[in-house]
Structure 1
Amino acid sequence: MIDSPFRIATIGESSVGKTSIIRIVSGDKFDATESTTAGVDFGQIIKKVDGKTATLEIWDTAGQERFRSLVPVYCRNVNAALAVFDISAPESFAKLGSWIELFKSLGDDRRLVFIVANKLDLLNENSVDLEKAKEWAQERNYMFFQVSAKTGQGLDEMIQAVIHSLFEAFPGHNDISGIQVEYDAEKKKKNCSC
C-alpha cells in the first residue's frame, strides 16, 4: 500500500505565528526568537487520529509581500490551508480574506480552509473580537480554532480536528493502493502462435 500524505499550506500575514504552530504541533519547543520565514519552509507531521495514521506535509509560506508570488506555487496541490492570524494584530485578520481568496483560486472546491486565531496568550482589550472572527469563519463554512503556539493551548485539538476533516473530505486519500498488474497465464497460452 502506498501512503499518500495530506498536503497543507499555512497562509497569512508575516509574524502571525505560522512557523511556531507547525513546530509545536510537530513536537518541537516554542522559540520566541524564531526568525520570519523567507520564501517557503516545509515540515512533515505523522499523527494518529480515530485509529488511522495520517501523514501531513505542511508548506509554511512566508507572509511578507515580497514572497507572495511564491504562494501559488506551493498552494496549488494542497488539500487544505491553515489561514492564521494574530489576535493582537487586527490588520492580520483584516487581510485574511485576501489570503483565502488567493488560496481558493488555485485549486478545486473540495479543499478545506481552517481559520486559526493565534497568540491567545496576548489576549487583551485591543485584540481582534474573537466572537466576530468566529462568526465570520462560520458564515463561510470554515472551522475556527483559537490557539497559542507559545503555551500550546488548543493546538492538539486543532490538529486532530484538521486530520479528522481531511479523512472525511478525502476518503481513502491516505490509503491509496498501488497499481495492480494481473497476468492471465491461460489466456496467454491460448493466443500464442508458437
Structure 2
Amino acid sequence: MSLKERLQALGQRLGLLQATPSRAEAPVKVATRVVQLDDLVSGIPLADIRGASETRVDLPIGFDGILAAAGVRAPAHGWTVQRLIETLRSEEVRKLTRDEAQRRVLADLARDQVPSEEVVRDAVARDQALDAFERYAQEKLAAQRARRQERLKAGEEQLQALQRELDRIRREQAQEESDWSAWRRSKIDYEKDMAWAISFLMEKPLITIDEER
C-alpha cells in the first residue's frame, strides 16, 4: 500500500479525511475539510536530508536531528503528530473508547483552532523525511561496509604476511639452534679425538673438553 493509500485509510479511520467521488467519468478524489490529500502528500519542502550525516552514519541516530536537518519544524500552535501521540497515550485519554478518544482529540484541535489536516501534514512531512534519510543512510552504510570490508581484507593480508614472517623467524631460530648444537657436538668429538691422540705423547691432559649442555 502506498503512502497516499495508507494516509487515506488512516484519515478515514480518524474522521479527518473523506473520500468524495466526483462525476462518473472523473476519477475519485480524496479531500480533506480544507485541502485535498494530494496537497498533503506533495509539496512538503524538505531540506537536503544529507545534512544529517555529512561524512558517515553513526548509529543510533535520533529522529530529532534528522527532522531538523530536513527542515521539519513544529508549527507555532504546537500541534504535531508527536503531540497527538502523547495525547492519545495520556492517562486521561487512553482509558476512553476509540470513539471517545477521537472526539476528544478533535475537540482539542477545535479549541486551539488547529485544522486537523495540519497535524496530518506534519506526520507526512516527518514520514517523508525519515524515509528520505533511510534511503540516504542505506547508501552511506553500504559504502561504509564496502570500505570496511576493504580494510578487513587488507588487515587480513597484513596478518597473513606477518604470520608468514613469524613462521620464517621461528624456522630460522630453530635451524640456528639445531646447527649450533650440531657444531658443539662435532667440537666435543674433535676435542676428544685430540685428547686421545695427545695422550700417547704425554700423560698430563692438555685438551679441554666441554661436555654438551
Q: TM-score under structure 1 normalisation?
A: 0.27
Say which structure is richer in helix.
Answer: 2
Higher radius of gyration, 1 or 2: 2
Structure with larger RCO (C-alpha < 8 A, sep 6+): 1
Q: TM-score under structure 2 normalisation?
A: 0.25
Say which structure is richer in strand.
Answer: 1
